[in-house]
Amino acid sequence: MAGALEGMFVLALEQAVAAPYCTSRLADAGARVVKIERPEGDFARGYDAAVKGQASYFVWLNRGKESLVADIKNVDDAALLHRMLAKADVFVQNLMPGAAARAGFGSAELRKLYPKLICVDISGYGADGPYAQRKSYDMLVQAETGLASITGSADAPARVGVSVCDIAAGMYAHQAVLEALIRRGRTGEGATIEVSLFDGMADWMAVPLLHFDYAGKAPTRVGLKHPSVAPYSAFASADGAAILISIQNDREWRDFCAGVLGETSLPQFATNILRVTNRTALDAHIAAFFAKHTRADLVSLLDSAKIAFGEVNDVARFSAHPQLRRVAVETPAGPVALPAPPPIVDGVRDRPLRPVPALGQHNAALRAEFG
């Protein structure tokens, strides 16, 4: 399948996770993405050595790109980047606050020089406000936005186990670039896009924030339970499996009672509000039933009653999950299997991914092309 963005040229002055997430998705869609790296490389190359001696985040987020080592403070390298920008459609950067502008690559200046260019600035807190100049990383923003305060058990706040603030910002940037490309197709004008980790997670935190602002109380940490829906939590089977069930409405509750528990709905649990209010008794009632039945029996009962449920897997079981789709990508250390990226378009389930570059792999070719 031909990529929808074939022919588009993206220059990425990027590091870590948020911007590379955005540009990796542009590359997946066929765009040519040139990644500018310091002589020591994107510091994400050194996060770990889990994937055949390579960093897991870097392998995941940098497939399909060309790597150019350049120093934006060097006059000759800066001139090279400007020659590239003159032909680029999109410029993405997530350097520390103010660094790109100080080096002559601020969006305001670039838009004057290249009016059709779509400039994307990804930062921790945005271009203005009291936190604008703060350095920031994913877990810091998880803490600042209150996400950590509603994550974890009742005992202590916790980090969400993946870099959700970075990923959310990358998704919003990708979405905004696609919108800007559509608009440019109509008007011929470029765009200046600002995305911050804080704003992205603030949007994701809308429901807890609305609870606090309008009901006077934010959801509390309840571990592997839903704060406002019950039963929506995990229960142990007789043979030690943890099965998470989700009852979204009163009709499903009645179906669960009849088809799984084999009883009529008890009055004190008849509505979701009552079930949440009486959650302790409700959970004890369900836990007692689950503890008498094996995983296989419970799965059969839940399937037959058309109740939504999931098993609480570890990563080892996820790795062997029958629903997991993988696609191979070449790396400097050999092929690696990645999760096949969504979405599925026109039935194409496993879109081929282009290779992950070695540091500076394309130096000679790019310097010759744009010299």
Catalytic residue among 82, 211, 226, 362: 226
Q: Which residues pair with 196 in a beta bridge?
A: 123
Task: Please check whether residue 259 is in contact with residue 305, taking contact to mean a CB–CB distance below 8 angstroms.
Answer: yes
Q: How many CA atoms lie less than 13 Å away from 239 in the CB half-sphere?
A: 7
Quote the tokens at residue 330: 């070449």
Q: Rounded distance, CA 14 to CA 67, Å?
A: 11
Quote the tokens at residue 174: 């990708």
Quote the tokens at residue 223: 């571990």
Instruction: Estimate to the nearest angstrom the gap between the alpha carbon of 364 and the chain centroid.
Output: 33
226 is catalytic: yes
Residue 45 gets which letter from DSSP? Answer: G
Q: Please, is 217 exposed, middle or buried when counting C-beta atoms within 10 Å of its C-beta (0-12, 13-18, 19+)?
A: exposed
Quote the tokens at residue 292: 């008498």
Q: Rounded distance, CA 133 to CA 127, Å?
A: 8
Indicate the SS3 state at residue 364: helix
- Backbone torsions φ then ψ of 244, nearest 5 degrees: -95, 125
Q: Rounded distance, CA 204 to CA 168, Å?
A: 9
C-alpha dist (Å) from residue 4 to 8, 27, 180: 9, 10, 15
Active site amino acids = 226
